[in-house]
Structure 1
Amino acid sequence: MSGTGTTTPIPPVAGRADGYRPGRTLPLRVELARQVKRRRTLVMGAVLALLPFVLVAAFAIGGQPEGRNGRVTLMDTATASGANFAATCLFVSAGFLLVIPVALFCGDTVASEANWSSLRYLLAAPVPRARLLWSKLTVALGMSLAAMVLLPVVALGVGAVAYGWGPLEIPTGGSLPAGAAAQRLLVVIAYIFVSQLVTAALAFWLSTKTDNPLGAVGGAVFLTIVGNVLDAVTALGDWRDFLPAHWQFAWADLIQAQPEWSGMIQGAAVSVAYAVVLFALAFRGFARKDVVS
C-alpha cells in the first residue's frame, strides 16, 4: 500500500489474458448444445424411441407370448401391463442396444474433435486439457443416461396405451403395484447406467488415443461383445465374476416380491472399479499427449 492510501494493482500472470478463468472455459451448456444438435444424437434418440412401437407391432402380429416348457419368463409377461412392457424393453435392449449409445457418446466425443482437426484449436482457446475432458465426459455420460431413461419412459407410455396401466406381473408369481413397479424400474435404470460405466470408460479412453471416432466406438462395442462371449464360457468358473458382463442382468433380481441386492452390489463394484482405472488412464494419457490435429 502506498502513502496516499491506494493499493498497488497486482500484475497479471505472464502469458495469461486479463479476466481469463480456466474453470469457465468450454461451459457444459455449450458442449451439451453442440452434442445434442449432432445428427448421430438425433438418430440414436429416434431408434430408442421407436423400439417400443416395433415390439408392440411384433406382439400384435405374433400374438400373445406364451410360457415355454411350463416356465414363464419376463418376456412372457410383456403384455400384462405397461410396467411389464417397459421392463421387457429394458430386458431385450440392456445386453446390446443400450451399449451403443454409451459407446457412441463417450467414444466419439474427443476423437471426433481430433478427426475434424478442431481439437488443437480448442486447446489453444485456451481450454485446459483436464477441463476439456471433464466437460466432454460429463456431457457424454449425461446423454448416455438420457438414452437409458428415454427407452423405458416411451415404453411405459406405449405399453400403458396398448396393454393398460396396472401392476407389474412377476414371472414367478405375484405382482407389484404400479407405484412400486415404477420405483423398481428407476432403480433398474440406475443400475444399468452404473453397469455400463465400464463401456463408457473404455470408449472414452479409446477416444483420447485415436483421431478415428469409428475406431473408438467400434473398439468399445467389440470388447463389450468379447466380454459377453467370455461370460458364456462356463469353463471359466468363478473367473467370470470379474467380468462386467456377468452381472449385466443382475437387476432382474428386483423384478420379484422380495428384491435381492447382492448381485447388483457385486456388479456395480466390478463396473466402477474398471471404470475408475480406465478414466484415470484417459486423463493421464491425454495430459501428456502431443495433440497435432
Structure 2
Amino acid sequence: MSTLTETAETAPGYRASRTLPVRVELVRQLGRRRTLVMGAILAALPLVLLAAFAIGGDPAGRGRRITLMDTATASGANFAAVSLFVSAGFLLVIPVALFCGDTVASEAGWSSLRYLLAAPVPRARLLWSKLVVGLGMSLAAMILLPTVALAVGTAAYGWGPLLVPTGGAVEAGTAVGRLGVVVLYLFVSQLVTAGLAFWLSTRTDAPLGAVGGAVGLTIVGNVLDAVTALGHWRDFLPAHWQFAWADLLQPHAEWAGMAQGASVSVTYALVLFALAFRGFTRKDIVS
C-alpha cells in the first residue's frame, strides 16, 4: 500500500495546476552544480577544437578524400557543423540523459519525493513539470554548443559560406538556418534517450542508474546499427538515423532520411513517456 494517500476533499483555493510550476522547477534545476558543469563542458568544446586545429594545422589538403572534418577551418559555419558532427554521436547524449534521468530519481535519492507529493503535488503534475524542464534544458544544451561554435569559428576563420565536401557551397545565411534545423532534428532524435532516462528515473532511486542506463542502452543501439548483417532491421533503430541531418548540409537539401529518423524516434519516445507516467501513478512512493 502506498505510503501516500490522496484525500477526497481539498482545501479551499487549492488547484492542482498551480502546484510545482514549471518556472519553479526550472529555477531549481538551473541552480544545480551538474547543470553548470554540463554547460561549461559544452561551451568549452569549440575552444578545445579550435586549439586542436591551431596545433595540428589546416586539416585539408592531405592527399585523401575530402570529408566534413577537412572543411572545419573554411568558415564559422563549417566549424559549427564539424562541432555538431563530432559531438552528436555521444557527447550530446550525456546532457539529455542527465537532465531527464536525474530529475525524478534525485528527488527519491534525497528522500524528498514523498514530501513533494504530500504538498500535495499530483503525480502527473510533478512528472509533467519535470519532463518539460528536462526536455527544455536538453534543447538548451544542444543550442549552446553550435552557438558558441559559430561565434568562435567566425572569430577565428571568418564569416563565409558553408563549403560542402562533395563540392559546392551553401550561402552563409542559409547555412545558419539549416544548422538550426539540424539542432532541432538532433533534439528530436534524442527523444528516445530522453524517454529511456525519464522512464528509468521513475523506476529507481539511484540517479546514476537512470542516467547510466539510458546512456548504456543508447550505446547498445549504436553497436547494433554497426551490425550490417541486420540489414533492413536497422531501419527501426533510432541510431541508424542519427546522422541523417548531414543531408541538409548539401547545396540541395534532402529531407527523406530525417523524416524517417524523426518518426522512429518520436514513436519510441511516446511509448517510453507513457510507460513512465503509467508506472509512476501506480508506484508506492517510500523515498
TM-score by length of 2: 0.97
What corresponds to 1:128 in structure 2?
122
Alignment-derived partner of residue 98 in structure 1: 92
Counterpart CA distance in 2 for 1:23 and 1:87 is 41
Q: Give 2:72's aligned residue.
A: 78
Of residues 235, 252, 258 in structure 1, which corresponds to 2:252? 258
* Structure 1 residues 196-237: Cα deviation after superposition (integer angstroms, max 9, x where no partner): 000000000000000000000000000000000000010111
SS at match of 2:11: coil
Residue type matched to 1:72 in 2? Answer: I
The total of aligned residue pairs comes to 281
Distance 1:81 1:35, change over 3 A: same
Q: Which SS does the other structure have where 1:109 is aligned?
A: helix
| Equivalent in 49, 58, 61 of residue 55 of structure 2 | 61
Residues 177/119 of structure 1: CA separation in 2 closer, same or farther (3 Å cut) = same
In structure 1, distance between residues paired with 2:132 and 2:255: 28
Q: Please report how far the alpha carbon of residue 15 of structure 1 lies from its aligned counterpart in structure 2 after TM superposition.
A: 2.6
CA drift of 1:31 comes to 0.1
Post-superposition CA distance 1:134-192 (Å, at most 9, x none):
00000000000000000000000000011001111111111111110011001000000
Q: Is the alpha carbon distance of 1:14 and 1:243 closer, same or farther for their aligned partners in structure 2, counting shifts above 3 Å? A: closer
* Equivalent position of 2:12 in the other structure: 18
Match of 2:225 among 220, 231, 242: 231
- Mapping of 1:1-293 within 5 angstroms? 15-66=9-60, 70-293=64-287
Which 5+ residue runs of structure 2 have no aligned equivalent?
A: 1-6
List structure 1 runs of 4+ shifted beyond 6 angstroms.
none
Partners in 2 of 1:162 and 1:179 — Cα distance? 18
Q: Please tell me the root mean square deviation across aligned C-alpha atoms, in Å.
A: 1.0
In 1, the alpha carbon distance for the partners of 2:67 and 2:43 equals 24
- Find the aligned partners of 2:207 and 2:187 in 1 and give their Cα distance: 22
1:8 match: none
- Deviation, 1:67, is 5.2
Query: CA separation of 1:188/1:14 partners in 2, compared to 1, >3 Å: closer, same or farther?
Result: closer
- Decide whether the 8 Å contact of 1:67 with 1:73 is kept in 2: no
Provide structure 1 residue ranges, at least 5 long, that are not aligned to the other structure: 1-12
Shift of 1:66: 2.4
- Aligned-partner Cα distance in 2 for 1:259–1:99: 25
